[in-house]
Structure 1
Amino acid sequence: MKTTGNTVFISGGSAGIGFAIAEKLNEAGNKVIINGRSEERLQKALKELNGSFGIQGDLSIASERVRIAKELQSKYPELNMIINNAGAAFMNDLSDNGNNVAEKAYQEMNTNYISVIDFSALLLPQLLKQEDAAIVNISSIAAYRGNKYLPTYSASKAALHSYTQGLRDTFADNTKLNVYEVYPPLVNTEFSAEIGGANGIPASEVADELFAALEINQFEVPVGDTKAIHALVNPIIENATH
């Protein structure tokens, strides 16, 4: 996959991992379009991304996904990469009957999984017109193992992981479309502050690993602590019947 001259849409690109990826790709000579729910935060991010563009909207809402997809198709017909990064996560104590665990799980599954499927489907016809295209899904180390703090978030990322594998298999014979999955560990962002994000790796490390993977068409992109788990698990998965 080329790493310059792309037109890239990044959901949740106004902060955290998404912003770090936007910075990296912008500096490398790509046309970057970032998305965020907050117009104020979006404009602040764009001031730091010289020459980049923004589309405000909440991709967890179906009508917003359609609107954003139509804007991309109209304004950026050369779009050849989408990075599905926007996410939702909640501390979710399954033992607390008053915690409304199902509602939190619904929001996570809708944002982290259903929205990615729908948005990718909306833009697939446009991507398939390009000579070199990619879908990049930002997954998580949590896709491999749930825990008592983020059990339903982990489940949503496991679902995203399974979908990404299926999407990659679906287009395995199409040499023009590549499907990447990035597995960050704990990352020091505002998004992860509630779960001790200050102890995590910098978001720039995730961006650097993705960029390096694009250069060599490495579709599985474990980052930091995820590399050890991925090295153990992935060979078994790859040898399993698809």
Structure 2
Amino acid sequence: MKTTGNTIFISGGSAGIGLAIAKKFNAAGNKIIINGRDEARLQNALKVLDNAIAIQGDLSLQADRISIAKQLKSNHPDVNIIINNAGAAFINDLSDNNNNSAEKAYQEINTNYISVIDFTALTLPLLLQQKEAAIVNVSSIAVFRSNKYLPTYSASKAALHSYTQGLRDTFSENESLNVYELYPPLVNTEFSAEIGGANGIPPSEVADELFAALAKDQFEVPVGDTKKIHALVEHATATL
């Protein structure tokens, strides 16, 4: 797929992985539209991007999803890449009866999974009008193995992984639409600070890997330590 001359919508694009992706593709000559909940953070992000656009809104809310999809159709009908990057994560101690585990899980599932399905459905008609289009779902190394700190976050990303595979199969015969899955490991961002993100890779490495993958139509995009696990899973699947 071409890596320049695209119009790219990035949810969660005001910081972290989303902003790193925005910078990488912006520098390569793409029109960037970033989305986030916080208007001030969006405006700060625009200062480091060239002629980018921001659309404020919370994609975990159905009304905002509908509004943003309408804005894209009306004001940016050339959008041909959607990067579903916005996410929610909570340390969730399942042994603590006062932890409100179910509420945390609900928010993660809603933001990381249900919202992606709905927003993708809302924007698919626009993407299918383009000569070349892509959907990029940002999952995680956590799809392959959960842990005691992020059990419900991992489950939400595993659900997103399964959905992404099904979406790719659904449009496998459509030569104009590609479906990518980006699997970051631990990344040094504010989002992951609570779980030791300072020990993670820089978000720019994730952006670089995605950029390279689009250039060679590599639909599965493991990054860093995820590459080892992904290779093992791919090998095991191939031998079934």
Fold in common (TM above 0.5): yes
TM-score by length of 2: 0.99
* Match of residue 68 from structure 1: 68
Residue in 1 that maps onto 2:107: 107
Distance 1:120 1:239, change over 3 A: farther
Distance 1:142 1:179 in 2: 20
> Within 2, Cα distance between the matches of 1:234 and 1:85?
24
- Partner residue of 1:26? 26
Give the alignment's TM-score, normalised by structure 1. 0.98
- Please state how far the C-alpha of 1:204 moved relative to its aligned partner: 0.1
Q: Return the alpha-carbon distance in structure 2 between the equivalents of residues 119 and 236 of structure 1.
A: 32
Unaligned runs of 5+ in 2: none
Deviation for aligned residue 1:234:
1.8
Matched residue pairs, number? 240
Aligned to 1:42: 42
1:235 Cα deviation after fit: 3.2
- Cα distance in 1, alignment partners of residues 98 and 196 from structure 2: 24
Amino acid across the alignment from 1:140: S
- Report Cα offsets for 1:153-192 as digits up to 9, x if no partner: 0000000000000000000000100000000000000000
Match of 2:145 in 1: 145
Over residues 128-147 of structure 1, what are the superposed CA-to-partner deviations in whole Å (9 max), with x where a residue is unaligned?
01000000000000011110
Residue matched to 1:53: 53
Superposed structure 1 runs of 4+ greater than 4 Å apart: none
Q: Distance in 2 between matches of 1:111 and 1:88?
A: 6
Give the drift of 1:101. 0.0
Q: Name the amino acid aligned to 2:58.
A: D
CA-based RMSD of the aligned residues comes to 0.8
Question: What is the CA-CA distance between 1:239 and the residue it aligns to?
Answer: 6.1
Alpha-carbon distance in 1 for matches of 2:38, 2:238: 40
Specify the alignment match of 1:187 in structure 2.
Answer: 187
Superposed, 1:67-216 pairs within 5 Å as: 67-216=67-216
Instruction: Name the SS of the counterpart of 1:14 in structure 2.
Output: coil
Q: What percent identity do the matched residue pairs reach?
A: 75
Deviation digits for residues 93-143 of structure 1, max 9, x if unmatched?
000000000000000000000000000000000000100000000000001
Q: How far has the Cα of 1:237 moved from its partner?
A: 3.3
Give, in whole Å, the separation in 1 of the partners of 2:113 and 2:32: 23
Per the alignment, residue 220 of structure 2 pairs with 220
AA paired with 1:174? N
